[in-house]
A and B are shown apart, each in its own frame.
Chain A
Amino acid sequence: QKEVEQNSGPLSVPEGAIASLNCTYSDRGSQSFFWYRQYSGKSPELIMSIYSNGDKEDGRFTAQLNKASQYVSLLIRDSQPSDSATYLCAVNRGSTLGRLYFGRGTQLTVWP
């Protein structure tokens, strides 16, 4: 079982819609959860972090965490073409200090 799994996509949504990106993780000891955005040809950019169960909102982005289900998601409201990118989920592991485990990413396309 992989440490972090994401729907590979691609996910395609119209402009203005809500894009929902999902991620599951295997280690129940995980405490830190992150979403990175990676534009084509660029490096991963940290856009959201979440540490407690529930929702965390930042502008059009909402991260949701459910530790009981080992599930973390990212919602993008009012999606824009500029949101088109690959989104990487990253999780720490309770037994390993410092390191993050990354999913393969979900490619999102927002069409006008």
Chain B
Amino acid sequence: QAGLTQPPSVSKGLRQTATLTCTGNSNNVGNQGAAWLQQHQGHPPKLLSSRNNNRPSEISERFSASRSGNTASLTITGLQPEDEADYYCASWDSSLSAWVFGGGTKLTVL
């Protein structure tokens, strides 16, 4: 079952901006959007942004999601040490009638 493509790792400096990408196709990201999740080691995931790019009220404004064509992006501004985590995208695939996840991006804050 084909998943979404995410870079395995991204490294950025403290207070810099990181943009994480998630590439799918017209059956998923392109027409269904993508949700973004953050997971710290040893903890369950946390929703950062829903498929329609809405951010839950408890999530910092430093996190914003967008989409262009078949690629979804998560931008994190003013990087903080606590942003170091694994980030996953997820989308409904209309051809598979299934949700698909990306392999995850490990964000390191230098």
Tell me whether A and B are bound partners. Answer: no
Contacts from B to A (Cβ < 8 Å): none
